[in-house]
Structure 1
Amino acid sequence: MPDAVRTEQQILDAAWQRRAGLIADIDATLAAARGDDDTSRARLGRLRQRRAELQHAEAGLVFGRIDGDDDVVRHLGRVGLPGDDGDDPLVVDWRAPAARPFYTATPRDPQGLRRRRHIRTRGPEVVGVDDEPLGDVFGTTLDDADGLVGEGALLAALDERRTGRMGTAVATLQREQDDVVRADARTPLVVQGGPGTGKTVVALHRVAYLLFTYPHLAERGVLVLGPSTRFLDYIGQVLPALGETAVVSATCDTLVPGIRPTRPETRDTAEIKGRALWQAALTRYVEALVPFDDDLDVTFEGERCTLTAADVAAAVRAARSGGHSYHRARRLAVERVHDLLADAVAARQAELLARAEEGFEDVLGRVDASLATADDRAAPTGASGSDVDGTFSSDELAALRTRIAADRGVASTLERWWPRREPADELATLLGDADLLRRVAPELSPAEADVVTSAAPPSDTRTGPWASSDVPLLDALAELLGDSDDPDGRATGQGDFVADRAAARRDWVYGHVVVDEAQELSPMQWHMVVRRCPTRSITSVGDIDQAESVHRHTDWADAVGDALGERWRRADLTICYRTPREVMDLTAPVLRAAGSRNDPPRAVRSSGVAPWSREVSASELPDAVRSAVEGMRARYDGGTVGVVAPAGRVSVLAASLAGATPVPEAPVLTAADAKGLEWDATVVVDPAGIAAGPRGWNALYVALTRCTQELGQISVT
């Protein structure tokens, strides 16, 4: 065993032993603990979180080492491990500030380091080390023009077989990636990166870094938005493996609890309904639902009371003055009406008593004289307030108001005056009424309004069916209307974060939001994102050149500008780590055909496998695809193979593969569904058919860049 491996094995052995001891200590504490109060429960929650971190840290418990010019040596790992008796840490957490030079130091900027070592492990065993000298301490002038950190370890990781699940990259993050991971979280960050640049893994590691650096974010959690449930399954193990559980994963279609779109719609309809103009249109619509300033007649305990238009108008203005939701303003207005009614009833009673007194002055005079000469021993009556002079005491007025608020007749009248509203009902009403739609959305042309109303959902839509573009409109309406049962504000989270609780609330406010494949979001979907993180602590990653959605933006300013304004920063990932050079060389003409002004990212690795292509007839296509998949499966034993095809061919090809014996494990997907995924080898079927679709050159760019080793194309003659 080489000396370096032997040395690092000793460190790894100590780390495994220390980890086991920490887990045992936590288990003992948890077994004996009692969560009798909030402080105790919070402490136990932190202990469980720490145990989860340690449990998931087996792979990469120690993966790196940095040697400083001051002879201080630090070992890095997935989680931090304390040393014995308060000594320096045995292992430094990769997210800690002390670990950053491991990712950012270069020979030209060594940052106080003389060496960086990558330690490759398999479970509890060190299987290799890769040393990088920094500076010229070894008497050489070193070049870092390639920009790679730990090239040997990086390329070894990239050459590993794909398993169908995304892995972590804490040991191989590159400098431009680490800059994104540790960027300031106070300003929205838009990360532009082409295929294979590691956008997704960078975004997920950024979540882990932020939760480590800013623990308060865990109280509200982090929302990760992906393009599909298949994609979320693919990345699902990354954050738990990094020890992070305060995370909710969703797609834009699943953000509103209880709503799952199933109704198809045309691209034209989806594009119109995704425009930013709907935010203002829906605001106008909800404002029009507020009652007019008119007299209000209310009957209480058999007596009719009329509130003047001026009093009603003042109540409505006061209720709406704080920018409250419809239902919050309704509650405030109803409370004010109760006050007005109580005042009116009290005034009526005082008036009636005054009139009665005018008719009985002589009688009252004789009674007063009698009382004045009565025996001093007469007991007092105890009468006061309205019982004596018609004037209500404060207690009596409060009791009267309580009776008014509880009166069913009053409640029924006020419900008719200012009714509660359901977002689903209101959206169905709006989308199905052409005249109403034109009034609240004058930005739409008559033809566009007709497109929307002709595709409107059925009138009874509270349980669906909804289209995907309806979800952001429902969300916006729900926000403008507010919760009729809990109108006081949004859910910001208290105590331990529970992902299921957060996911079940449409109005949960998250500490941070990550958006993957962000180029696909419509302006209205972006508003959904901002509603869930009003602080705009948002990280979005994507590639504007891979946009396939119906929305017409072609640069990031168009994509995010309406929701984020000018308060966002852009970062670029320029190096392609996944897709081999042989494949990336094919993409420049495709990008030009797509109208892009960007260059494809620079590939840093070669697979040594030249892309291949063949032509077959339509009848031969299923057999040709099956044969190609079987060959790739044999060549990449233990890896993955994927098939990307036009939508019209997916079902036939999937059935053909399913009928093979044995069944080759290879999903057949459209380019849109394959976005964000990767396989060892990819078969792109009918590339001309993919390119012929809407935004088809962008789709073909996606399809060509899914592989890490081999690309095959099968065209149809």
Structure 2
Amino acid sequence: MRRNSALRDSTADSEPPAPFPADVARRSAVAEEQAFLDLATTRREALVDHLRAELATEARDAVEQARQRMLRQQHDELRRAADGLVFGRLDGLDGTVRHVGRVGLRADGEDGEPLLVDWRAPAARPFYTATAVDPQGQARRRHIRTTGATVVGVDDEPLDGTVATNLVGEGALLAALDQRRTGRMSTAISTLQREQDDIIRAGATGPLIVQGGPGTGKTVVALHRVAYLLFTHRTMADQAVLILGPSPRFLQYIAQVLPALGETAVVSATCDTLLPGVRVSRAESRLLAEVKGRALWQLALDTYVTSLLPRPRELKLRWEGEFHVIPAATVGHALASAVRGRPYHRARTVFAEQVHHVLTEAVVERREALMNEMEEGFEDILARVDQSMRQEHTGGARATGSDVDGLLSEEEVEQLRCRIAENATIARFVEALWPTLDAETLLRDLLTDRALLARFAPQLSPEEIVAVAAEAEPTGWTPSDIPLLDALADLLGEVDAPRPQGEFAADRARRQRGWVYGHVVVDEAQELSEMQWHMVLRRCPSRSITAVGDIDQASAAHRHTSWAQAVRAVFGDRWTAAELTICYRTPREVMSRTESVLRKAGSHNTPPRAVRSSGIDPWELAVTPADLADAATRAVRQLRQRWHGGSVGVIAPADRVAALRSVLSDVPVLTATQSKGLEWDATLLVDPQGIAAEPRGWNGLYVALTRCTQELGQLMVTPR
């Protein structure tokens, strides 16, 4: 021992030991990447200054205005890319080196070579998809970690076959996962994995349904897919992209991700807020939510609106003191032609145009008939006069009435039609025959009338009809009413409403119910009812839809237990399935406890494979109801101390939330349903037995167990 001490003392007095070769290599790599980051940052700043100067000039015409909109988008994208500008590098087997970042940059000069590859570009894809088994021409992948304008670390992965790996970029990924949660979702473009990237870059020609368990990065994939599609399909920005989330809290959580990636042609909403000017103002029973969420209402409402159309009958219209009769057969033909594939109010406009046309023809025909009668009588008179003149003046000129034909010119006929179209009396007649309808009034009339419900929704049982009519109220709307209102509004169509104006497509889309989006993303898609899926399809008839969710986390009132059941009524078999199988968020210690919960929930799916360990086993503490508030307060205080700088969340049964919020004002206290899509460093799960006892409670417990990234604690409420 003394000898060792002497050696230590001798060492302490000598020169510092030489750094390990690995440290030298790391420092060299960091310095190398710092030099490149400095170069890229300088180039980015120069481009920002150049674009700012360009934007300072006034646009004189529409062409220059369009150019300035494009320049402003580029300027904003470059400005937001200051943080995390460079995050990756690919070294090719042929010696080429490509850096990957949030935006694409070219070196200075007219023919500048690519300096930085945009993460969405095809050239960047090997950064996410190359493996040692399939290197895709790459020898090495390097993850570059930065803080501001400083490189703080690198992770190298050989791809030349010397090292086999199943998880692409594991070092960088796990470093990112170990960071503290801040309550806002961060971008993950530097750590996307192959199965995630495959989904991000998949085609967008039809519905893509992505099944992914907790922590598999469903939301990250969906948001990055939006950024990729907007980058790849530039015209999609002209139509905007709609993101449907499960709650306002969730939308706030993800709000900064797409702007950080340079995308602003996006509208975010929930199904409850998707209808402009209409908001949910009251709750409903799960029974009614399930009944009113069924697809049968689409046909019921269609039939309901069709029943309100006018029926063919003879019309008697007055014009300038004379009555003109339009036969029932002609009216029937006009009705059939107007209704063909058109919403109610648009069909009325077409019908009115046909009435104007038919009435114009009737007036012209009446005028011509009168003129013909007058001309025939006048010709008799002229014939007698002509005979008398021949007798008196043989060989004289012969006068006739052939030049007086009484016909209106095309211009005169068109003027007559315009006068008829602008006539207030004719307009009132058409309005009385085909009145303007209001979707909200119609829906209340239907939902409160048992006879109407039985007539138009015969698939409902008598008990369900009674329940629907009993819960309907003259004011306020429930969540399941919104899709019904949306369907009715679509069937009725607008009443000559002006199209919203605005510089950006997203601004116009937010204000217009009938806007058709270039793409729709649905997060927590397992919660949507069949009628809500119809809402989605109406906004994207091209079916360019990405839906992500976990069917095992469903808590909605509908009875779907598979994706096929959930989307069959709207998409049939025309959709593509994809799956995320790796859990990056929830540690193995927690995921190992979820399989039994899934079985009790009736699932036949396998939980995703967790790839990381937090080293902290879930813990439980038994408490009585009387001690619950104090125990929860102490547990939250301890968790916040342990995860200082991170986040703590509390999940509890719905009937305990209010009481817990009153004593836990500094952390979110949510139900299992409200916690969907959220994550915290530590989760305190209060009364898991109570959550399991709720409707679809085992699904809810599965959600609650998997919200943490590091530590899970449970307060087990026991009888006194």
TM-score by shorter chain over 0.5 = yes
Q: 1:584 aligns with which of 578, 583, 591?
A: 591
Q: 2:59 aligns with which of 29, 35, 53?
A: 35
Letter in 1 for 2:417: R
Letter in 1 for 2:704: A
**Mean alpha-carbon deviation: is it higher for 513-522 or for 394-403?**
394-403
Is the aligned partner of 1:59 residue 2:83? yes
Q: 1:160 to 1:384 in 2, by over 3 A?
A: farther
1:249-287 CA-partner distances (Å, limit 9, x unpaired): 000111110000112111111111111111111111111
Percent of aligned positions with the same letter in both sequences?
61
Q: Is the 8 A contact 1:220 1:497 kept in 2?
A: no
Letter in 1 for 2:493: G
Q: 1:298 aligns with which of 300, 314, 317?
A: 317
Q: 1:670 to 1:384 in 2, by over 3 A?
A: farther
Q: Is the 8 A contact 2:502 2:508 kept in 1?
A: no
Q: 1:399 to 1:66 in 2, by over 3 A?
A: same
1:312-332 CA-partner distances (Å, limit 9, x unpaired): 0011111123x1111121111
Q: Is the 8 A contact 1:219 1:494 kept in 2?
A: no
Is the aligned partner of 1:705 residue 2:706? yes
Give distance in 2, aligned partners of 1:406 and 1:110: 72
**Mean alpha-carbon deviation: is it higher for 49-58 or for 478-487?**
478-487
Could you tell me the TM-score, scaled by structure 1's length? 0.92
Letter in 2 for 1:511: G
Q: Is the 8 A contact 2:200 2:228 kept in 1?
A: yes
Corresponding residue of 1:337: 355
Q: Is the 8 A contact 1:218 1:497 kept in 2?
A: no
Letter in 1 for 2:504: F
Corresponding residue of 1:125: 150
Give distance in 2, aligned partners of 1:625 and 1:332: 65
Give distance in 2, aligned partners of 1:457 and 1:419: 25
Is the aligned partner of 1:327 residue 2:334? no
Report SS of the residue matched to 2:131.
coil
Deviation at 1:187, TM superposition (A): 2.2
Give distance in 2, aligned partners of 1:201 and 1:191: 12
Deviation at 1:353, TM superposition (A): 4.5
Deviation at 1:341, TM superposition (A): 1.2
Q: 1:501 aligns with which of 481, 499, 508?
A: 508
The aligned runs of 1:605-684 (5 Å cut-off) are 605-658=612-665, 665-684=666-685
Corresponding residue of 1:377: none
Q: Is the 8 A contact 2:681 2:708 kept in 1?
A: yes
Give distance in 1, aligned partners of 2:386 and 2:357: 35
Q: Is the 8 A contact 1:42 1:495 kept in 2?
A: no
Give distance in 1, aligned partners of 2:212 and 2:690: 26
Report SS of the residue matched to 1:332.
helix
Is the aligned partner of 1:694 residue 2:695? yes
Give distance in 2, aligned partners of 1:17 and 1:90: 12
Q: 1:370 to 1:590 in 2, by over 3 A?
A: farther
Report SS of the residue matched to 1:79.
coil
Q: How many pairs does the alignment contain?
A: 686
- Give the structure with higher Rg (CA): 2
Could you tell me the TM-score, scaled by structure 2's length? 0.92
The aligned runs of 1:186-205 (5 Å cut-off) are 186-205=205-224
Q: Is the 8 A contact 1:4 1:129 kept in 2?
A: yes
Deviation at 1:84, TM superposition (A): 2.8
Deviation at 1:297, TM superposition (A): 2.1
Letter in 2 for 1:674: S
Deviation at 1:401, TM superposition (A): 1.6
Q: 2:365 aligns with which of 322, 334, 347?
A: 347
Give distance in 2, aligned partners of 1:348 and 1:97: 71
Q: 2:169 aligns with which of 150, 154, 174?
A: 150
Deviation at 1:368, TM superposition (A): 7.4
Is the aligned partner of 1:271 residue 2:290? yes
1:423-452 CA-partner distances (Å, limit 9, x unpaired): 112111221221122112122122222222
Corresponding residue of 2:6: none
1:209-241 CA-partner distances (Å, limit 9, x unpaired): 111111111111111110000000000010000
Q: 1:348 to 1:130 in 2, by over 3 A?
A: same
The aligned runs of 1:132-531 (5 Å cut-off) are 132-136=157-161, 140=162, 142-144=163-165, 147-321=166-340, 323-354=341-372, 388-458=404-474, 464-486=475-497, 497-531=504-538
Q: 1:357 to 1:61 in 2, by over 3 A?
A: closer
Deviation at 1:88, TM superposition (A): 2.7
Corresponding residue of 1:662: none
Q: Is the 8 A contact 2:651 2:686 kept in 1?
A: yes
**Mean alpha-carbon deviation: is it higher for 693-702 or for 433-442?**
433-442
Report SS of the residue matched to 2:133.
coil
Q: 1:628 to 1:351 in 2, by over 3 A?
A: same
Give distance in 2, aligned partners of 1:371 and 1:296: 50
Q: 1:352 to 1:689 in 2, by over 3 A?
A: same
Give distance in 2, aligned partners of 1:265 and 1:439: 24
Corresponding residue of 2:30: 5
Give distance in 2, aligned partners of 1:54 and 1:130: 26
Letter in 2 for 1:591: L
Q: 1:172 to 1:367 in 2, by over 3 A?
A: farther
Report SS of the residue matched to 2:639.
helix
Deviation at 1:303, TM superposition (A): 2.4
Q: 1:8 to 1:417 in 2, by over 3 A?
A: same
Report SS of the residue matched to 2:234.
coil
**Mean alpha-carbon deviation: is it higher for 272-281 or for 342-351?**
342-351
Give distance in 1, aligned partners of 2:679 and 2:142: 29
Give distance in 2, aligned partners of 1:496 and 1:569: 35
Deviation at 1:554, TM superposition (A): 0.6
Deviation at 1:352, TM superposition (A): 4.1
Corresponding residue of 2:14: none
The CA RMSD over aligned residues, in Å, is: 2.3
Is the aligned partner of 1:20 residue 2:32? no
Letter in 1 for 2:106: P
Give distance in 2, aligned partners of 1:684 and 1:105: 40
Deviation at 1:628, TM superposition (A): 0.8
Q: 1:272 to 1:365 in 2, by over 3 A?
A: same
Report SS of the residue matched to 2:664.
helix
Q: Is the 8 A contact 2:168 2:193 kept in 1?
A: yes
Corresponding residue of 2:104: 80
Q: Is the 8 A contact 1:219 1:495 kept in 2?
A: no
Letter in 2 for 1:588: E
Report SS of the residue matched to 1:624.
helix
Give distance in 2, aligned partners of 1:77 and 1:393: 69
Q: Is the 8 A contact 2:375 2:405 kept in 1?
A: no
Give distance in 1, aligned partners of 2:226 and 2:380: 86
